[in-house]
Amino acid sequence: DSADYDSEVESICPFCGVGCQVSLKVKDGKVKYVDGINGPANEGRLCVKGRFGFDYIHHKHRVTKPLIRREDAPGKGLNVDPENWQTHFREASWDEALDFAAAGMKGRGREIAGFGSAKCTNEEAYLFQKLIRQGFGHNNVDHCTRLCHASSVAALMENVGSGAVTATFNEIENADVAIVIGANPVENHPVAATFFKQFTKRGGKLIVMDPRGQALKRFASHMLQFRPGADVSMLNAIMHTIVEEGLYDQQYIDAYTENWGAEKAHLADFSPEAMAPICGIEAEVLRDVARTFAGAKAAMIFWGMGVSQHIHGTDNSRCLISLALMTGQVGRPGSGLHPLRGQNNVQGASDAGLIPMFLPDYQPVTDDGVRAAFTSVWGSEDFSKEKGLTVTEIMDAVHDGAIKGMYVLGENPAMSDPDVEHARSALAKLDHLVVQDIFITETANYADVILPASAFAEKSGTVTNTNRQVQMGRPAVPPPGEAREDWWIEVELAKRLGLGWSYESPADVFAEMKQNMRSLENITWERLMEQNAVTYPSLSPEDPGQAIVFGEGFPRPDGRARFTPASVIAPDDVPDADYPMILTTGRQLEHWHTGSMTRRSAVLDGLEPEANCSLHPSTLRKLGVAPGEHVVLTTKRGSISIMAREDRAVAPDMVFVPFAYVEAAANVLTNPAIDPYGKIPEFKFSAVRVEKA
Ligand code: SF4
């Protein structure tokens, strides 16, 4: 009822990569409630987070003034009470805080590194990477894509020539078969999951592959609950069957691919009969899945972090790409490869160059011509041609003494990094830490200066969802107190670093981005203000954008995609007598990542107020633990005490821990070993001991 609110503003949900469009209803200067509107991804739908998870923006813990660490503060990293922060910090004016932040970084070159954020807008991500590259002359700038889909992007770039999805998830309406592997969309991409369920109601065959059972199981034609870490064995066995039974699409392979001979020869060793004991799926089921997928008129493959967060994450994605290529399932309606992106702007932040090896649009920093094109637009000197350090490598470099200061915008490595005590001790070692955020996060506990930033409902800017849809976010309410939009803070810092920036709005930044980003061709700020969303690539000012790409070849040499054979690599931290079970981590429906927003949202926190882990009933019985009681989880990195929940979806030798809870932080336990290509940590597999508390 329009009497319920004074104004309504269209924007984008800040949580997952589905990118649902929302209408923010404002009364008395506050967002009162949220409705879904007809965006291209959500068609009016919202999940519980999008509908009820907005009130954190008005939470009493918001940082409303710039804060500088007091000289007499107790040690860095102590838990700062958000309602009694005065013992650690003192208020400062913006001028003092910005001067202080800049003075601690200026002229220090490689001693300074930056973590940007997938929660910020494209313009803010672009400015952040520019600030590090132009301001310090190197590429040590990264963000949480490293912890999310870096291995998927590495495999897609290598074999398809582009890191983004080849088709929107909504294309499932034109498919007759779909694989969902290592993803739990009902919890993590809930609105996308509603389209997946509808697809099965129309007769589509849904093949779900996951070591953990999940709600989509009820809709699946095949549920393959395989052994954790056995993805490559299972996928190679499926492809072996396709080769052995001649089910591949030779015409497509000849027209659009290379290296098929090597792939075919490699797969000879992976018969379903040989792989069945390794992956825990019967050979006949593997053969049936192969026939079902290869027999589809149109088929899609969706994957999540169950695929990417392994030391063999890139190999997992290589297999999925090969499976799609050998069956010709790319580039047509209802076909395609779709890594379901996590954060609402992880696609856009990556596109905008917030990664250490690429400038915007995945243009390599190692290419002299590429750097020259950017420095010419920036009016600045050349910067390093060396690929920069990634998220976890930056923390190692802090321990080694090479990096001494950091600028962290909206990330929370003190909760999100693997083996988090390693990250926390690195943050404590820094001599200058600038944190820009909306709350005093666990990372801000280590800050020398905190710059109060804006939440999604307080800022202008574009974000890009998992579907490659560039969408317009608009402010509905002003930031509280003296908090400011993030782009403004970045510009003011850059001025003090001597970079001569003069942007007056995010629209100015977007206009500059367009000069070196072909993905934004035909997409203008004005167009987005009018239409809310345009999918890239957009072929003309009238084209709403291409939902499907690569129907006529790939952005690789000779237009050909590549088969890259994948071998089996064991997980890094395998169970033994001391740590006999397998730990896996992830998200749950009600909470988002490190919990800084959703645990301050009344409805969401009310639904899931307590740190919990999931164990099979037989495991609980063996431990003598009743559901609701606590268990102690111990790995080689550390130990947490956490409430146990009974869950038949988890195998008897596994424990699942959501990573949103600081009081039982899952990443105290996780293994920092990384995939050699995507440099992503193995969050999905650690050896663990589970004991009654
Ligand atoms: Fe927000 Fe994702 Fe839920 Fe949509 S599905 S409302 S984008 S959290």
pLDDT tens sequence across 374-387: 999 999 999 999 99
Nearest ligand 1 atom to alpha carbon 51: 6
Strands, DSSP E only, in 401-538?
A: 405-409, 432-437, 449-452, 461-464, 469-473, 533-535
Alpha helices in 366-505 (DSSP H): 368-378, 391-400, 413-416, 420-429, 486-496
Q: Decide whether any atom of ligand 1 lies within 6 Å of the 39 Cβ.
A: no
Concatenated DSSP letters of 227-271? PTT-HHHHHHHHHHHHHHTT-S-HHHHHHHEE-HHHHHHHHTT--
Q: In which band, very low, low, confident or very high, does the pLDDT at 194 lie, cut at 50, 70 and 90?
A: very high
Query: In this predicted structure, what is the pLDDT of residue 148?
Result: 81
663-671 mean pLDDT: 96
- With a cut of 90, say whether residue 144 has pLDDT above it: no
Nearest ligand 1 atom to alpha carbon 50: 6
Task: Give the CA angle between residues 671, 437, 498 to the nearest 5°.
Answer: 105
- With a cut of 90, say whether residue 98 has pLDDT above it: yes
Q: Decide whether any atom of ligand 1 lies within 6 Å of the 54 Cβ.
A: no
Q: In which band, very low, low, confident or very high, does the pLDDT at 146 lie, cut at 50, 70 and 90?
A: confident
In tens, the pLDDT along 542-561 reads 999 999 999 999 999 999 99
Q: What is the mean pLDDT of the chain?
A: 97
pTM of the model: 0.97
Query: In this predicted structure, what is the pLDDT of residue 1?
Result: 62
ipTM score for this prediction: 1.00
28-57 mean pLDDT: 97
Judged on CB neighbours under 10 Å (0-12, 13-18, 19+), 385 is middle
179-208 mean pLDDT: 97
Query: In this predicted structure, what is the pLDDT of residue 676?
Result: 93
What is the largest distance, in Å, between two alpha-carbon atoms of the chain?
73
8-34 mean pLDDT: 97
Identify whether the C-beta of residue 182 lies closer than 8 Å to the C-beta of residue 304: yes
Identify whether the C-beta of residue 244 lies closer than 8 Å to the C-beta of residue 267: no
- With a cut of 70, say whether residue 659 has pLDDT above it: yes
Q: Decide whether any atom of ligand 1 lies within 6 Å of the 15 Cβ.
A: yes
417-439 mean pLDDT: 97
- With a cut of 70, say whether residue 309 has pLDDT above it: yes
- With a cut of 80, say whether residue 329 has pLDDT above it: yes
489-514 mean pLDDT: 98
In tens, the pLDDT along 562-576 reads 999 999 999 999 999
Give CA–CA dist 442/462, Å, rounded.
Answer: 27
In tens, the pLDDT along 60-82 reads 999 999 999 999 999 999 999 99
Query: In this predicted structure, what is the pLDDT of residue 636?
Result: 98
- With a cut of 80, say whether residue 541 has pLDDT above it: yes
Identify whether the C-beta of residue 354 lies closer than 8 Å to the C-beta of residue 128: yes
Q: Decide whether any atom of ligand 1 lies within 6 Å of the 41 Cβ.
A: no
305-320 mean pLDDT: 96
Q: Is the peptide bond before 537 cis (omega within 30 degrees of 0)?
A: yes
Query: In this predicted structure, what is the pLDDT of residue 313?
Result: 96
Q: Decide whether any atom of ligand 1 lies within 6 Å of the 354 Cβ.
A: no
Percent of the chain exceeding pLDDT 70 equals 100
Q: Which residues have CB under 8 Å from 246's CB, separation 6+? A: none
Q: Decide whether any atom of ligand 1 lies within 6 Å of the 604 Cβ.
A: no
Query: In this predicted structure, what is the pLDDT of residue 2?
Result: 67
- With a cut of 70, say whether residue 275 has pLDDT above it: yes
Query: In this predicted structure, what is the pLDDT of residue 145?
Result: 84
Give CA–CA dist 394/132, Å, rounded.
Answer: 14
Ligand 1 probe mutation, 15, 592, 604, most atoms within 8 A of CB: 15
In tens, the pLDDT along 223-269 reads 999 999 999 999 999 999 999 999 999 999 999 999 999 999 999 99
Query: In this predicted structure, what is the pLDDT of residue 66?
Result: 98
Ligand 1 centre from 547 Cα, in Å?
20
